Amino acid sequence: MNIEDPRLRGDKFKIEEFRMKLNILCIGDVVGRPGKRILADNLGTIVNQQQIDCVIVNAENAAGGSGLTRRIYEKLLKYGVDLITLGDHAFKKKDIITVLEDSDNIARPANLSAHAAGKSFALCKIKKGPIVAAVPLIGRIFMKPADSPYDCIDALLPKLENQADIIFVDMHAEATSEKISMGYYLDGRVACVFGTHTHVVTADEKILPKGTAYITDIGMTGAHHSVLGRKIEPVLKNFRTQMPCPFEIATEDARLNGIVVTVDSNTKKAEKISRIEFKDQKSESISYDSDDGKPDHNNGFE
């Protein structure tokens, strides 16, 4: 992606040119075919109705419930997605590696190893002019080893100040306390900190004291008659018997979860944050399609 911005060329930046309100839509973990379909069918309508300027989507569960493929990445962009964040399943599908290395609009968690493939933040210049950055961070409680997200974001923000006008942080973590802590840590330093990974939307959206929008989890885009997007019966069987079994993608009650954040591009602070939920009227019984590839039957909900 070629981002044309005077600051990247060393020209003097005139902040007066960017005094406007921006509506940023953040969509929670897209899980499998049901999540992709409701996104494909309804994102355009939501963008028009809510006057959205930029769409950020966590898509690490989009391919059969675990990972992302090049083909799905390309389809998400066609649906109207501007920026894509990933989490602990960032590298589950091999063919996403080249996408991560070559594209500016998708990022893996910034606090993974510096030697890991991909970029630590994603950038998009929106039609109104400003550049929006999405920075994924991954938690360390009940998660695989990762570097300190605090040290990582401290090192990253000074670099981003010369490349982006508005910064959103996706805190992909298991523990709610870890997400809340990051929200307060970045209050006043970024426009928004939103949580992902646990797939259950929380009711604590707020504007923090120094102007950062915050919510612990923006929820899941997928089948909600489920256990975090997976069919109920095999999950119950696993919990009851402690025996491994396939956690297949559920299909019933598809919903799209997310937030809309209004940001003042002059102050770079949030003015409003609202939860949204779009319930699909369609019913289907297909869990997977050709885009998903071979289903991942390892036990796990992420």
Q: Catalytic amino acids? A: 89
- Name the nearest CA neighbour of 36 among 248, 268, 222: 222
Sequence-ordered list of residues with C-beta below 8 angstroms from that of 219, at least 6 positions apart, any chain: 28, 29, 199, 200, 201, 202, 257, 258, 275, 277
Distance CA 256, CA 40 (A): 11
Write the CA distances from 42 to 167, 211, 219, 221, 252, integer angstroms.
26, 30, 17, 12, 17
CA–chain centroid gap for 162, Å, is 23
- Name the nearest CA neighbour of 59 among 8, 99, 14: 99
Reported residue count of the chain is: 302
Strand partners, 167: 133
Distance CA 229, CA 248 (A): 9
